[in-house]
A and B are shown apart, each in its own frame.
Chain A
């Protein structure tokens, strides 16, 4: 299948406890571009190479975590089809008028079996990546790529229950593939599932948690594993709390570093990994190799990986 239907994670709405500190983190340190503040005080960011107006929305609140996330779909007809498929699946779908979310066309919203609020939309104002569309060249002006040199929003990992129901929803309704999964060796129960709607190893993942609707991390794509190391240098310089230093995931083969924003929300910068196609078989890891599945350069599981969420 050519890439139609559900395209990508296009928007993640994150709660922060202090907007001033969050702006320093997401803007000055990570190098995302602040696009606007709306009349409720929410602050909107994009990564330089995204054409759409924004991909990260910050809201000040008394606890951190995620309000909702949204995937962009190919066109309005896709939205209509998916609304019917979602209802046939048994989910309640709420319609949101165009313009309710800034720069955005109409959306549909529903709650996943894992408790997370998900939205789909087909249109968002495109502002470009500064290079233009005709003879765009390849390198933007000095200062456009900055901070951690983030190219774009890549994926998110969310915590909750009913992982297999989530897999059924994403594969049957949204045409995702189950790229990889981590299971308990004794019981065979799913502990983490990794789903792709593209040629990336994953576009969204879920990890088993005792509580519904938990936020594990949002991940940003860098150009190379070398850029991950350079981001780690900046993380060290600015004393940003690190969860797991530079390593490579067994699952997805991505080069990674995990760190936290000033409100304790986990972020990741990520590069590389393999190419996934719809006919790529599902790869299965089990708890006998929990270390390698999570962090393959030292084969050591981190307890914080499965227990520290917002």
Chain B
């Protein structure tokens, strides 16, 4: 996989699927729920999930900053964009533990959800790291 300097995947681009350079679609399977969705090669995995109204991965800042969308990529290739070092360290990266809002599928993927939204305002649980 490669890391790019792109600030975010270009979800803003309006895509004409009849064009020769139209983005590819890759199947993403969430192993926790066995749900699958087709993610475009020009949007983040999380953006693809949200666009189709699917659930499973917690959705937070969508900029690689808050850490709630942490996943493990069990199988498949992807492109990784910058993400907060407060949530993902070198060991995480080499074990394909990444933030779903900052990776773009480069083929079909199987993933597991690691991140969690804290559930209750009165008893905020500890989160994994600062940032």
Contacts and interface: CB of A to CB of B under 8 A. Distances in A.
Contacts of A189: 122
B122 A186 contact: yes
Nearest to A242: B62
B131 interface: yes
Contacts of B65: 17, 63-65, 260, 263-265, 310
A303 B124 contact: no
Contact of A301 (B82, B83, B87, B121): B121
A184 interface: yes
A189 B123 CA distance: 11
A251 to B, nearest CB: 14
Contacts of A290: 121
Q: Say whether chain A's binding surface is mostly helix, strand, loop, or mixed.
A: loop
> Which of B8, B125, B131 has the most C-beta atoms of chain A within 10 angstroms of its own C-beta?
B131
B102 to A, nearest CB: 9
B93 interface: no
B52 interface: no
Contacts of A209: 124
A199 interface: no
Given A63-B86, A64-B131, A260-B61, A21 B7 contact: yes
Given A18-B82, A191-B122, A65 B61 contact: no
A308 B121 contact: no
Interface string A203-226: 000001111111000000000000
B119 A303 contact: yes
A308 B63 contact: no
Contact of B12 (A239, A309, A310): A239
10 contacts: A17-B65, A18-B82, A63-B84, A260-B63, A287-B122, A303-B117, A303-B119, A304-B59, A307-B68, A308-B68
- 10 cross-chain pairs, A with B, having the tightest CB-CB distances, nearest first: A264-B65, A21-B7, A264-B61, A264-B63, A241-B62, A308-B60, A63-B86, A62-B85, A64-B65, A307-B118
Interface of A: 17-18, 20-21, 24, 62-65, 184, 186-187, 189, 191, 208-214, 238-239, 241, 243, 260-266, 287, 290, 301, 303-304, 306-310
Interface of B: 5, 7-8, 11-12, 59-66, 68, 82-87, 117-119, 121-122, 124-127, 130-131
Given A64-B131, A238-B12, 16 more contacts: A17-B65, A18-B82, A20-B7, A21-B7, A63-B65, A186-B122, A191-B122, A211-B130, A241-B61, A241-B62, A263-B84, A264-B64, A265-B63, A287-B121, A307-B124, A307-B127
